[in-house]
Structure 1
């Protein structure tokens, strides 16, 4: 299976803050115990072309990167029928497997021309599943609008070499957020991690604050390579409205905690509250 490429973008120097791009080790969530609370993160299979990562923000809605919905060679939008969301996929088994009824890409996203901050700033999409996932152990994530420089964050993703098991990087950092809302992060990402949710602790809950869009070489020798994402805020509202406009049955997402099963330590490392 060919992997969906994470975009590689050469950007200006990121201001150093002593955090390396590998400051948080990846941990495979390869058992039911380790994966508990993260089942709403899943792999988005794109026909036989490859895959991306994504996360549920409602029983029937998955948040991911817009570029995952386009053919990298032709630039054409892929049909929704080629997309499949596999929630909590681990070693060939998923908690739930759904097709995609329809999707919405941010209206300002353009999958043509040069790759830069403008493209990353709108690299956001919503998938509406063909059926809701309503399982007690698969709880959608709440969202939070804006990460800030210095925030400790975490990423759960599938990627090259680890496509069958999600991995958690418990502790990386926001290096900067520019005026267009592009977030530069010290997190480790690779091909396939496009669309992966970026988490932070907010009001005692783990919430999605960004979506992985790209990886970039840094001119700062202490960071080697950085991850790029997009802050949510009004962009997610635009996507919700675009999806709502096509179907009156659409239910608006509420930015509220789900069930309290996912928490992070005060140091920013993701931790579970054990039963």
Structure 2
């Protein structure tokens, strides 16, 4: 038995897309299968898996027709993915599953997100920014204060003097599990210029990735906060895989703009 797949990325944060419109192909998406599919040696290789399914088939509350059923590379559930939703949206438009001439909604576990697709550039209304307390994160024997920012996923944003100080990030940095009992994405951020930052990220369930959309939003919110910036304000966020732009509006909403690309498609037999 075979199944269809596509491969795409947003600023080199890469994903396998699984068309399963009625939820009849992949069932409950077994975590072991997702982990095998994401493996870069014995699978297709990805930072995560996006199942393309109708909201009516998955049973999630949503006004959108299509739901982004996102899983981390280890098979665990994730609430939201800013780079993934851009790839997901581009796929919907390319396949004629939505009318891309106007903004449209995509359902996620963090609620419905409005998306606008202009060829390979995609803008996502990520919703409200939520700031929390500060805590500590540690890597390579160094410890920094980290800002708690929720942008659909939990984030701990630490400002550093040099991105290299975070080390290889092959090992998950230490963080306060009392603040983040379900794990956390950790961003290490440096200022490059006014309203311009660069970051590296360790994503829970995936390790270090080339980019993180929700993390870029969290980095922009934290930077605007420490910069005492007046909203609305936009930040350029450089990641190892490219650049995205984040606007924090006067009413606390986050608009993420960046590229998306579908690079391959095919069919394969079930992984064991």
Global fold match (TM > 0.5) = no
TM-score, scaled relative to structure 2:
0.29
Higher normalized strand content (fraction of residues): 2
Bigger relative contact order, structure 1 or 2, given CA contacts below 8 A and separation 6+? Answer: 1
Higher normalized helix content (fraction of residues): 2
